[in-house]
A and B are shown apart, each in its own frame.
Chain A
Amino acid sequence: MAKVVIKDSPYNLKKAKILDVKTLTEKEKLFKLVFEDKTWLDFEPGQFIMVSLMGIGEIPVSICSSPLNRHYFEICVRAVGKVTNSLHKLKAGDIIGVRGPYGNGFPIKSLEGHDLLIIAGGLGIAPLRSLILYSIDNRRDFGEIHILFGCKTPGELLFEDEIEEWSKRLDIHFACTVDRADPDWKGNVGLITSLIPGVDIDPLRTYAAVVGPPVMYKFVIKELLAKGLPVDQILLSFERHMKCGMGKCGRCQIQNLYCCKDGPVFTFKEIMDMAEAL
């Protein structure tokens, strides 16, 4: 057997340096990254990267910064297991491996010229933050922008500073809710679905972008359909186990679709008749 180094392997990693780590909640940290070779990560909102800790593992993570930010890119990681817990132990200056970006993100070109209804549940805000920041950076290309954000408790609220800022902006309609309040909470209490009937949208002009835990989708979609949104204007991002990120390993397959390559963002129309999708 001859062994060769293949630099053009699709599994090759680029080294990314952690510029900064910010603790957002008990479970989530925000990592600011740059490639060591000073190249830029060219991506679309909704795309993901594969993040590697050598010897520990590799996981898919959404890019949560604006694609127009040429100085760094960000990921927001919840500690749930082996790789994510190890990531949480890293500090500024440490190096991780990155490959990507992968997948189909939000169809920016179709979204432009339309109103946006962005619905985030919990960590679903991560890929949607990229879309929100992009649409703020290109504010004049979009119509009305509505953001609905929900999480379990006020302590789990991500990106608090930014939310504060978004809620003050005149060109954004922002609403937030928690399932269970604490004594200091002054906002809405209830599931995210309770916010939908109240938003004032023209359904035919509006694209909804929904990302959250799997249980959320069915209920949110029901509300959106009740509002009159066309099925091809409801965008969902799916989470599956992913190993290759390139439509090969088969792990993320939903019938004939590869979540990693054809998704993770799908229109409701693409998957509505598909068993094993929702």
Chain B
Amino acid sequence: MKIEQYKLLEKSLLKDFINSLIPIANVYAPVSKGFNNYVFQNIKSADEVSIKYIPTIIPPKKFFLPKKENILQFFIEDELKVEPVTEYENLIIFGVHTCDIAGIKCLNMVLSDKPKDTAYLIRKKHVTIIGIECNDYCDEYASCSFVGAHMPTTGYDLMFTELSEYFIVHIHSSKGMDIIEKTDIFKDASIAQLEELKILRNNKMKIFNNEIPTERRYLPDLFDRSFNANVWKELEQKCLSCGNCTAVCPTCYCFDIKEEVDLTLKAGERYRVWFSCQLDPFAKVAGGHDFRKERSARQRHRFYRKFRYHIDRYGMVFCTGCGRCSRTCMAKINLKEVLTSLIRESEAKIWRKWL
């Protein structure tokens, strides 16, 4: 910890800080919608913001990979003209939890892999991420500690952590520094607060217990043994194939590509739009055959994409433990329970071999 990278903010000044961002860029922050629902929304005043919130309905992926996004526009005049396009805005997302920062890191990994997704990279460059550290669990659905997303590491410009007297702010980029320097409300941090931060983090290790009865490093092995597990068959009976779990997931990025022609029939757009492996035509091929017809196969695919396939391809677990999929599921399919059942089933099989 380099002390120069840390600043202090009086707790009572947090609103002043948020208000100081509004002239700089479009600011998005968690806003309560009632019934314990929160949304990252454009704010005009700090009064709208919920500093304490459980993960928003839709994660910040919507700023990086919008639900619907034009990728090409075309004009048919004397001759065909095609222009690849993208839209972006300078924006600051305030109050991002570490799980959602982990989600953005997953998207970065995929979309900056070759061939690079230029539109994504342009948009990403114009986003400033200001995090807020969770000192305790948001609710019982979270499994962020299992995947190691409960502690701030990288992926943000500024990170706010609440101490007893102050917010301590970690400045992680020059973009973050510029924002801090725009106001005079920050104080220098001293050794005492850095000590307090260390103690807080140590305490967090006790509060955030691994939520799943295995370790992350055993995931490949667990999943390699579980392709034909009964757990998937049980999901067949429950899942409604609504696709909500993938829409709200910060690391789900599958999309469809479609197009629209305007009324003149001389111009139009090609766009990409979120799609889901849980929905019907996703894995259909010519001739009508569907390689993942059963809902169990689709759910299995979802879990393997989170916990197995991308470990080989990108070296990362593609679950941030945010708990959104479990919170949103009408059929009450719970990620922590599914993983726990998989472990139990796989252990039972191993024991049987020894008996």
B270 neighbours in A (Cβ, 8 Å): 11, 52, 54, 58
A170 neighbours in B (Cβ, 8 Å): none
CB–CB A9/B84 < 8 A:
yes
| A/B pair count, beta carbons within 8 Å | 133
* Consensus secondary structure, chain A interface: loop
Q: Which chain A residues numbered 1 to 29 have a C-beta less than 8 Å away from chain B?
A: 1-13, 15
- Nearest CB in chain B to that of A78: its residue: B286
A12 neighbours in B (Cβ, 8 Å): 72, 82, 84
CB–CB A5/B80 < 8 A:
no
Interface string of B321-332 (1 = CB under 8 A from A): 000000000000
Nearest chain B CB to A5's CB is how many angstroms away? 5
Interface-central residue, A240, A251, A255, A276, by most chain B CB under 10 Å:
A251
Does A55 have its Cβ within 8 Å of any Cβ on chain B? Answer: yes
Does B77 have its Cβ within 8 Å of any Cβ on chain A? Answer: no
| A246 to B277 alpha-carbon distance, docked (Å) | 17
CB–CB A250/B253 < 8 A:
yes
Interface string of B274-298 (1 = CB under 8 A from A): 0101000111111101011000010
Q: Using known A-B contacts A1-B88, A2-B88, A9-B118, determine if residue A95 contacts B80 with beta carbons closer than 8 Å.
A: yes
Nearest chain B CB to A255's CB is how many angstroms away? 7
A70 neighbours in B (Cβ, 8 Å): none
Cβ-neighbour of B82 out of A3, A54, A239 (below 8 A)? A54
A243 neighbours in B (Cβ, 8 Å): 255-257, 272
Nearest chain B CB to A212's CB is how many angstroms away? 12
Does A57 have its Cβ within 8 Å of any Cβ on chain B? Answer: yes
CB–CB B227/A214 < 8 A:
no
Cβ-neighbour of B291 out of A3, A5, A254 (below 8 A)? A254
Interface string of B53-91 (1 = CB under 8 A from A): 000000000000000000110101001101111111100
CB–CB A251/B261 < 8 A:
no
CB–CB B313/A256 < 8 A:
yes
Chain A interface category by residue count: 35 or more
Q: Using known A-B contacts A6-B118, A10-B117, A254-B291, determine if residue A248 contacts B84 with beta carbons closer than 8 Å.
A: no
Q: Which chain A residues numbered 50 to 64 have a C-beta less than 8 Å away from chain B?
A: 52, 54-58
Interface string of B229-269 (1 = CB under 8 A from A): 00000000000000000000000011111110100010010
CB–CB B85/A3 < 8 A:
yes
- Nearest CB in chain B to that of A249: its residue: B255
| A249 to B309 alpha-carbon distance, docked (Å) | 15
Cβ-neighbour of A248 out of B118, B253, B309 (below 8 A)? B253
A203 neighbours in B (Cβ, 8 Å): none
Interface string of A75-88 (1 = CB under 8 A from B): 00000100000000
Q: List 19 A-B contacts (CB under 8 A).
A: A2-B87, A3-B85, A9-B71, A9-B85, A10-B115, A54-B268, A55-B76, A57-B258, A57-B259, A213-B287, A240-B283, A240-B291, A246-B115, A248-B255, A249-B254, A250-B254, A250-B255, A251-B282, A256-B309
Interface residues of A (CB under 8 A from B): 1-13, 15, 52, 54-58, 80, 95, 97, 213-214, 239-241, 243-244, 246-251, 253-256, 275-276
> Which 7 residue pairs are nearest across A and B when measured between Cβ atoms?
A9-B84, A250-B254, A256-B309, A55-B261, A54-B74, A10-B115, A12-B84
Interface residues of B (CB under 8 A from A): 71-72, 74, 76, 79-80, 82-89, 110-111, 113, 115-119, 122, 227, 253-259, 261, 265, 268, 270, 272, 275, 277, 281-287, 289, 291-292, 297, 301, 304-305, 308-309, 312-313
Question: Given known contacts A13-B82, A214-B287, A246-B115, what 9 new A-B pairs fall within 8 Å (CB)?
Answer: A3-B87, A4-B122, A10-B117, A13-B72, A54-B268, A239-B285, A240-B285, A241-B285, A243-B256
